[in-house]
Structure 1
Amino acid sequence: MQKLKLRLGNAVFAVVLAAAAIIFIAPILWMLSTALKEAEDIFVMPPQWIPDPVVFSNFADVFTKMDFLQYLKNTIWVSVLPVFGQLLAVPLVVYSITKIEWKGAKIIFPLVLVTMMIPWQVTQIPMYTTWSKLGFVNTFIPLVLPAFFGSPYYIYLMRQFMKGIPNSLIDAARIDGANDLTILYRVVMPLCKPILVTVALLVFIAAWNDFNGPLMYLQESDKYTLSVGLQNVLSNNTLKRQYNLVMAAVTLFSLPLMVVFAIFQKQFISGIATGGVKG
């Protein structure tokens, strides 16, 4: 009887998960379906999930209707460089406040957490004013350079992981004559691979999807990222009522994120699970 209840519970759980998966994946499937349709087939009733005919030329038309390749190149720059910046800065900060004993370590980390509570709307105008006076508006610098100083959330996330590394390993490396940089890069960081992959993915996804930053700092269309460029095309009615081309553009915009997440999902989930549960 107990085994029957257990199997019944597992079956119900599986059905609930399947229903939730369908709810989450349905918009993606509809996006792909619309991207492969003729414009007049989008609003037919009942809805047509399988395009007939399948129009692959919609994706080619995107490149003629907007400067997609230029937007893509700009987006890659402002998405990849912050990943390197965060992976350079965050481990240095976390190691210094977690594995090095000094008086300021217990003060610095709470201050870092406090900055997470400040809404970006509060700092938006001061930040724009600062970058404007430095002459960096309409450049990629405001979108890239801050990453090389670390971000509070990624510092917090990695600290939770690094706290679990035994201090005995670090002490043994110090006895062997290794300095702190050697310990960090040869001992600690190889053990932090799951959280490093997680941080890299989160940074890349956030930068790729960022709309407010590029909209605020970039003024010339040849510097637009995909998010701003697509919105600019829509607001200029370049793709007016051509929803199949809009969905084709959105599909191309989303595809790199899907591919990257599919490749690194195991490391991502491992980093979140391990780094997010420690106090």
Structure 2
Amino acid sequence: MKISDVQTKTVPNLNVSVSLGKKIKPTRILLHIVLIIGAFLMVAPFLWTLSSSLKDVSQIFLIPPKWFPDPITFQNYPNSLTAMPFGQAYFNSFYITAVVVLLNLLTCSMAAYAFAKIRFQGSNLLFILFLATMMIPKQVTMVPLYLIMDYLGWIDTHLSLIVPAGLFNAFGVFLLRQFIRGIPNELSEAAVIDGANPLRIYWSVILPLIKPALAAFGIFAFMGIWNSFLEPLIYLTSPEKFTVPLLLNTFKGLYFTDWSLLMAGTTISVIPVIIVYIFAQKQIIEGVALTGSKS
């Protein structure tokens, strides 16, 4: 046998042994165990909610807890939908969320374009002050904002939920600005040579190039607005104007809470968020990764 034949036969085996050695490293196994435990801890509350939605009230607070309901009570779901006007609440949540997300995509992308590509005096200072608003807790601005809404006559109207949330989102501006900064200036300069004004450049050049970041931010905004509870609780008083999270709170009474119906209604309320995440998780990952890679 030739030496060359021995080398061609042994080298692949060495590569296989090296690759197998990488797969069975104790640190890698430990990392996967920690991630699995963390994933279970994250999903356990939802699994408990799903399990409780199929129980009667007597089974929910058993000690030790029963994860598998016996018997299974599917009637909790139709009962929760008929006990409260969930149809109207779902419509309210859908249209409020849709309007706010569209406004956020428009206003945040325009502001991000201005901060990233249009140089004007004090732009950096203004951007820093803009980002500083993210450090202010909502509770600090709650009373002043309520007084403004009351002065405008928007208390117990959906405008109080749409206008402030739709016209101001510092996180969205920061996210999109980081992405827009990575777009070559030559594209904007070429559009200027062709006679395009800043608005035309924003609409025809910038927007088509930031679709991944817009998709990621739109999904984040959707989940945040859909799950919003504090603002509807403060501004809305009429049941027919309630959103889904606020309507779920009405299952909690002063002396009694129907936990079975509450868990069933909660499970139904998270279905849109789960659907959005399942079908858009690729856009979330790509949008955040691409945004983070820009400087």
TM-score by structure 2 length?
Answer: 0.86
Partner of 1:7: 24
Instruction: Please state if 1:271 is matched with 2:287.
Output: yes
Asked if the contact 2:251/2:262 (under 8 Å) is kept, the reply is no
* Distance in 2 (alpha carbons) for counterparts of 1:241 and 1:215: 18
Amino acid at match of 2:260: N
Asked if the contact 2:50/2:263 (under 8 Å) is kept, the reply is yes
* Distance in 1 (alpha carbons) for counterparts of 2:161 and 2:59: 40
The one of 91, 102, 105 equivalent to 1:73 is 91
Unmatched 5+ stretches in structure 1: none
Question: How do 1:239-258 and structure 2 match up within 5 A?
Answer: 240-258=256-274
- Post-superposition shift, 1:134? 1.2
* Distance in 1 (alpha carbons) for counterparts of 2:254 and 2:226: 22
Partner of 2:3: none
Larger gyration radius, structure 1 or structure 2: 2
The one of 254, 257, 262 equivalent to 2:278 is 262
Asked if the contact 1:195/1:271 (under 8 Å) is kept, the reply is yes
RMSD between aligned alpha carbons? Answer: 2.1
Name whichever of 64-73 and 36-45 sits farther off. Answer: 36-45
Unmatched 5+ stretches in structure 2: 1-16
Instruction: Please state if 1:100 is matched with 2:114.
Output: no
Partner of 1:233: 251
TM-score by structure 1 length?
Answer: 0.91
- Post-superposition shift, 1:2? 6.6
- Post-superposition shift, 1:148? 4.0
Asked if the contact 1:88/1:148 (under 8 Å) is kept, the reply is no
Aligned length in residues: 277
- Post-superposition shift, 1:104? 3.9
The runs of at least 4 aligned residues of structure 1 exceeding 6 Å deviation read none
**Secondary structure, in 3 states, of the residue corresponding to 1:235?**
coil
Asked if the contact 1:85/1:150 (under 8 Å) is kept, the reply is no
Amino acid at match of 2:184: P
Structure 1 residues 45 and 233 mapped into 2: Cα distance closer, same or farther (>3 Å)?
Answer: closer
Name whichever of 114-123 and 190-199 sits farther off. Answer: 114-123
Partner of 2:181: 163
The one of 206, 210, 226 equivalent to 1:192 is 210
Partner of 2:164: 146
Percent of aligned pairs sharing the same letter = 37
Asked if the contact 2:252/2:258 (under 8 Å) is kept, the reply is no
